[in-house]
Amino acid sequence: MYKNNIIEIKNLDKYYGKLHVLKNISFCVKKQEVVVIIGASGSGKSTLLRCINFLEFAQKGTISIDEKIIKTKATDLHKVRQEVGMVFQHFNLFPHFTALGNIIEGPVQVKKISKTKAILRAEQLLEQIGLVNKRDNYPSALSGGEKQRVAIARALAMDPKIMLFDEPTSSLDPELVGEVLSVMKDLAKKGMTMIVVTHEMGFAREVADRVIYMDEGRIVEEGDPEKIYQSPENERTKAFLSQIL
Amino acid sequence: MIDLPWNFAAIPQYFLRFFPAALMTLQITALGIFVGLGLGFVAGMMRLSTYKLISLPSHFYIWVIRGTPLLLQLFIIYYGLAVIVSIPRLPAAVIALGIHNGAYIAEIFRGAVQSIERGQREAALSLGMTSWQSMKRIILPQAFRRAIPPLGNQFIIALKDSSLASTIAVRELLLRTRQVGSSQFMMMEMLIIAAVYYLMLTSVLTLITNRIEKNLSKSDRRN
Ligand SMILES: Nc1ncnc2c1ncn2[C@@H]1O[C@H](COP(=O)(O)OP(=O)(O)O)[C@@H](O)[C@H]1O
Ligand SMILES: [Mg+2]
């Protein structure tokens, strides 16, 4: 299709048994683009992200990353996943490692970078997320916002080309949302390609290049944030937005 | 005062005579657990495989062992196999105890691995780890910690089950008790000595597992 599309998704169909979860999904993401996905619970947002990271497999359609179609049977998916970082709603930090241990785990185990080098890089990341002083804390001794920031740093330590965020702030207490969003905004401004499932409109308006609205497994509407939030064309988008705003 | 038919005053003087037999009990148990841990780990991992060819043999093993008495398994190994290989008493007892415990330990490991949240594996995979790396670095270390309480429990059962080795004349605690008890006409007194030894051994085992559990939980508190 176009040059500079780091992700191209064509005609994706995904079923869980008989449940048709993703219906003919097609969209592209350009390098350095920030795309926000919104939609009601159960509309397939998580499933879509998980397909892009090959934690789930679609039955039909293709996903290209960096202009290569990824054939799920023939490719070493763990190599693909190294390029695609993921941040989860429930953090999923490794409880048996410290904050630093979580961050160096990928580089040391997967990229086989020396521990000394990995620690140097991890310390930079800890500074970037403002948690230098929590370096040796176990996840159990971190607040939700701190956990999620460490989880972001853990993904960044692999130097991914793309970052996927699945409702990164929706399990946080309201007063902790801001610190996570600000790390993400920072990242967006540095030019990271991001797909973010979130209902944080402030974030979308500030950094998103495009907002996609999903409903019952379909992309119903997409456009720049102002257009989607101010004057959505689709009735269902309107109804949805009136609920969350 | 009621005159009891037993001579409890004799207990202290016989007590130390049972020490070698208690060591034998400990030895059978330790070796049996060792074999059981090995078998249990392999069988537990196989049981988790999505390939039927790998998981079914393990399923079968667990089904057979958990569905038949340990005493029968011991007799099969010691008497039943005697026509093709004659296994000496002690190794026979260790093998039986090991195979028996392996089935239970397999289930403990399987349960522990399955109890680790799905998100842990997904986070590991999303970093680019292979399935095996995520097992080795993320899932198993957490699963081992969770397996410690049920394993401790199983070890105590194994220790008590080792008394069945007396039926094939391994000179462990219970056999020794019966020998001394009948030759000295002091069965109850000697049985009490055996009980004290078993209690000491199981209590030490409990203390050790509690200690390990406590130490681990210091670093591993859940998210
Ligand atoms: N592992 C699964 N097995 C079966 N159904 C699932 C599974 N994961 C999600 N679903 C179903 O797929 C639909 C889409 O789920 P999801 O992608 O999580 O939606 P969202 O993230 O938008 O809330 C829902 O109906 C959900 O119940
Ligand atoms: Mg979701």
What are the residues whose beta carbon lies below 5 Å from ligand 2 (ion)?
A: A 46
What's the complex ipTM?
A: 0.94
- Kindly list the protein residues whose Cβ atom lies closer than 6 A to any atom of ligand 1: A 16, 19, 21, 39, 41-47
Domain count, chain B: 1
Which residues of chain A are within 8 Å of residue B125 when distances are taken between CB atoms? 55, 78, 81
Question: For every residue of chain A, which 3-state class applies, written as one string?
Answer: CCCCEEEEEEEEEEEECCEEEEEEEEEEEECCCEEEEEECCCCCHHHHHHHHCCCCCCCEEEEEECCEECCCCCCCHHHHHHCEEEECCCCCCCCCCCHHHHHHHHHHHCCCCCHHHHHHHHHHHHHHCCCHHHCCCCHHHCCHHHHHHHHHHHHHCCCCCEEEEECCCCCCCHHHHHHHHHHHHHHHHCCCEEEEECCCHHHHHHHCCEEEEEECCEEEEEECHHHHHHCCCCHHHHHHHHHHC
Query: What's the confidence (pLDDT) of residue A34?
Result: 97
Q: What is the CATH number of the domain that holds B88?
A: 1.10.3720.10
Q: Flag whether B8 is in a domain.
A: no
Query: What's the confidence (pLDDT) of residue B163?
Result: 97
Q: Flag whether B152 is in a domain.
A: yes
Q: Flag whether B201 is in a domain.
A: yes
> For a substitution probing ligand 1, which of A12, A18, A19 has the most ligand atoms within 8 Å of its CB?
A19
pLDDT means over runs of 10, chain A (245 residues): 81 96 96 96 96 95 91 84 96 97 98 97 96 96 97 98 97 95 96 96 94 96 93 91 83
Q: Flag whether B5 is in a domain.
A: no
Query: What's the confidence (pLDDT) of residue B219?
Result: 58
- Put simply, whether A96 touches B (Cβ < 8 Å) is yes
pLDDT class for B221, splitting at 50, 70, 90? Answer: low
pLDDT class for B218, splitting at 50, 70, 90? Answer: low
Alpha-carbon distance A54 to nearest alpha carbon in chain B (angstroms): 9
Does B142 sit within 8 Å of A95, measured CB to CB?
A: yes
Q: Flag whether B3 is in a domain.
A: no
Which residues of chain B are within 8 Å of residue A53 when distances are taken between CB atoms? 126
Ligand that comes closest to the CA of residue A40: 1
In ligand 1, the atom with minimum distance to the C-alpha of A45 is: 22
- pLDDT one-digit tens code per residue, B27-47: 999 999 999 999 999 999 999
Q: Flag whether B189 is in a domain.
A: yes
Q: Record the pTM.
A: 0.90
Ligand that comes closest to the CA of residue A170: 2
Ligand 1, atom 7, lies closest to the CA of A16
Q: Give percent above pLDDT 70 in chain B.
A: 97
Q: In this model, does residue B164 exceed pLDDT 90?
A: yes
Q: Flag whether B2 is in a domain.
A: no
Domain of B194 in residue numbering reads as 13-222
